[in-house]
């Protein structure tokens, strides 16, 4: 069975979801109270200038027309102009997205690596102190809000010890504290899933076979068991990518990081629709894209999934 039709089908489903969510975002924001023209011009603008601005922004057209005009512009790559900053939306949104990725990607890699290692170890040493320690840390990690931890990290490492900067944008020392905070926020869940999946796999027959062949514990664990344990972990990591981008919102605020989340929240508070729409769309595309990647990765890794999808 070919992989390509599977990918195409997943791609098409993804596209439908993206278009539907764009409609939702657009619709929701058009229902929002507050006249963007007044927001833009202030309370003292004359009725005439307000009407002209509404016409310029297309706010006088019917909703559906506005939506299709918006779609047409998006397809052409025209995301509009920020009402607050008066500059093209892409010039604001894309650099911000890049800044968010600088935080999200290292955290994704770190939390996956450490989580797989910790979860795997806990499963291999089930009901020993290693397992109990990991479980304890997982319970704590899940319950700790990342932004709170981030503030405590700032108090300790930036204000008391003065080892690291407390805020600011940069790819060196500035990156350390936000990435640590974001990693810890993700880590707990990854190790929990890994432990569950690994301990299930370790009960399989082929693991007994591997032991019976006389392979070392390490070979069995990290060679045979690891690969099959990773499937649920990949799903969760991909699904959590959205949560990672979301978790980045509060971390960005703590560290004054000029990321997309912070931009969208500020725009939402100021009712700067074009930024909110573009930012929300970009985040949901990134999120759905990550899920699509995970689906494709499985399609290659595990033929059973590909075939099941085809027969469904």
Partner 1 sequence: MRSRTRSSFGRKLVRRYVGGLVGGLILAVLLLLVVVLPLIRTVDPFRQDLGRVLEFPSAEHPFGTDEFGRDVLSRVAAGGRVSLLTATLATALGVAFGIPLGLASGLFGGLTDSMIMRAMDVMLAFPSILLAILLVTVIGSGILNTALAIGLSTIPHFARLIRGSTLQVTTADYVGAARSIGCGNLRIAVTHVLPNISTPIVIQSTFTLARAILRAGSLGFLGLGVQPPTPEWGALIAAGRNNIQDGWHNVLFAGLALSLAVVGINMVGDAIRLAVEPRHR
Site for partner 1, rule CB under 8 A: 17-18, 20-21, 24-25, 28-29, 31-33, 139-140, 142-145, 147-148, 151-152, 154-155, 159, 242-243, 245-247, 249-250, 253-254, 264-265, 268-269, 271, 276, 280, 283-284, 287-288, 291
CB of 37 to partner 1, least distance (A): 17
Our CB check for partner 1 shows the closer of 194 and 264 to be 264
Our CB check for partner 1 shows the closer of 167 and 216 to be 167
Measured distance CA(139)–CA(239) in Å, rounded: 20
CB of 199 to partner 1, least distance (A): 9
CB 44 within 8 A of CB 54: no
CB of 134 to partner 1, least distance (A): 15
Our CB check for partner 1 shows the closer of 17 and 176 to be 17
Measured distance CA(27)–CA(64) in Å, rounded: 9
Q: Across the strands, what pairs with 88?
A: 81
Q: Report the candidate in 18, 25, 11, 99 with the shortest Cα–Cα distance to residue 299.
A: 11
Q: Across the strands, what pairs with 81?
A: 88
Our CB check for partner 1 shows the closer of 291 and 309 to be 291
CB of 96 to partner 1, least distance (A): 14
Q: Report the candidate in 281, 18, 262, 236 with the shortest Cα–Cα distance to residue 108.
A: 236
For 86, left (φ over 0), alpha (ψ -120 to 50), or beta? left
Measured distance CA(237)–CA(187) in Å, rounded: 10
CB 202 within 8 A of CB 123: yes
Measured distance CA(289)–CA(282) in Å, rounded: 10
CB of 126 to partner 1, least distance (A): 9
Our CB check for partner 1 shows the closer of 8 and 126 to be 126
Angle at 259 between CA 254 and CA 262, to 5 degrees: 60
CB of 49 to partner 1, least distance (A): 25
Measured distance CA(210)–CA(216) in Å, rounded: 9
CB of 297 to partner 1, least distance (A): 18
Our CB check for partner 1 shows the closer of 33 and 218 to be 33
CB of 250 to partner 1, least distance (A): 5
**What contacts 53, CB < 8 A, 6 or more positions away?**
37, 40, 41, 45
Measured distance CA(41)–CA(53) in Å, rounded: 9
Our CB check for partner 1 shows the closer of 31 and 212 to be 31
Our CB check for partner 1 shows the closer of 52 and 131 to be 131
């Amino acid at each position: 069975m070919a992989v390509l039709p599977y990918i195409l089908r997943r791609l098409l489903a993804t596209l439908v979801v993206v278009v539907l969510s764009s409609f939702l975002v657009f619709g929701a924001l058009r229902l929002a109270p507050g006249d963007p023209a007044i927001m833009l011009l202030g309370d003292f603008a004359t009725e005439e200038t307000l009407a002209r601005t509404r016409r310029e922004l297309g706010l006088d057209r019917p909703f559906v027309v506005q939506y299709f005009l918006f779609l047409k512009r998006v397809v052409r790559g025209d995301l509009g102009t920020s009402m607050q900053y008066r500059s093209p939306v892409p010039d604001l949104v894309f650099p911000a997205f890049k800044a968010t990725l600088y935080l999200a990607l290292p955290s994704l890699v770190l939390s996956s690596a450490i989580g797989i290692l910790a979860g795997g170890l806990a499963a291999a040493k089930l009901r020993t102190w290693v397992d109990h320690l990991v479980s304890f840390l997982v319970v704590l990690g899940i319950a700790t809000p990342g932004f709170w931890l981030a503030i405590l990290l700032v108090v300790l490492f930036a204000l008391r010890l003065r080892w690291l900067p407390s805020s600011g944008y940069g790819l060196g020392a500035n990156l350390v504290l936000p990435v640590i905070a974001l990693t810890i926020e993700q880590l707990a869940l990854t190790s929990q899933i890994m432990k569950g999946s690994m301990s299930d796999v370790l009960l399989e027959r082929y693991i007994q076979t591997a032991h019976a062949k006389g392979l070392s514990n390490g070979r069995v664990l990290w060679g045979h068991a690891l690969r099959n344990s990773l499937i649920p972990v990949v799903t969760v990591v991909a699904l959590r990518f959205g949560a990672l981008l979301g978790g980045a919102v509060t971390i960005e605020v703590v560290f004054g990081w000029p990321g997309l989340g912070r931009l969208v929240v500020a725009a939402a508070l100021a009712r700067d629709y074009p930024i909110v729409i573009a930012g929300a769309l970009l985040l949901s595309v990134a999120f759905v894209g990550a899920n699509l990647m995970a689906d494709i990765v499985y399609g290659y890794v595990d033929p059973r999934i590909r075939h099941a999808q085809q027969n469904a």
